[in-house]
Amino acid sequence: MDPEAVRRSLEPTALSKEVVGPASASLRYDAFALTGVRIDAAEHGRLLCSFVSPAGYLLSGVTATLADQLGSGVFLSSGIGTSGVSLELNLSYVDVASIGEEIEVEGKLLRAGKSVGVVSVDFRKKMTGKLIAQARHTKYLAHCN
């Protein structure tokens, strides 16, 4: 497992104004959602990140995008050669984050079978450890042989 490879997979590869074409809106949104996310630790089957809650509050769509992207990073950190294709993303929102509050996100590999993998992604207030949101992400892992 190469932490730098995981970091590169999560970093936007182009500025949003440089992204054009049919997928441009989706790519711009992913780049926006990942702006300011720091990878604090990457180890086999676990990814720990943090960021500061943007102006306003942490929106549910941004939380879902982060769960998707960081969940994919967990698969890559576990040595699986693919980040997979989403089958299901389940999110429970239990609290809100204040403006400027530091958020810690921990993704853990729960299972990686022959064709399906599952990760959990927890969003917590860094100061108190209080849970903000919890995601479970199931992906189809198309292994290349």
pLDDT at position 57 is: 61
Q: Identify whether the C-beta of residue 40 lies closer than 8 Å to the C-beta of residue 73.
A: no
% the chain with pLDDT above 90: 37
Rounded mean pLDDT of 95-121? 92
CATH class of 3-140: alpha beta
Residue from 37, 20, 44, 27 nearest 102 by CA: 37
Q: Does residue 116 carry a pLDDT above 90?
A: yes
Contact 97, 67 (CB under 8 A): no
Confidence of residue 16 (pLDDT cuts 50, 70, 90): very low
- Burial of residue 53, with CB atoms counted within 10 A of its CB: 0-12 exposed, 13-18 middle, 19 or more buried: buried
Considering only residues 145 and 55, tell me which one the structure prediction assigns the higher pLDDT.
55
pTM: 0.77
* Weakest-pLDDT range from 4-13, 60-69, 127-136: 4-13
pLDDT at 28 > cutoff 60:
no
Domain boundaries, the chain: 3-140
Region 21-40 average pLDDT: 63
Contact indicator for 118, 79 with CB cutoff of 8 Å:
no
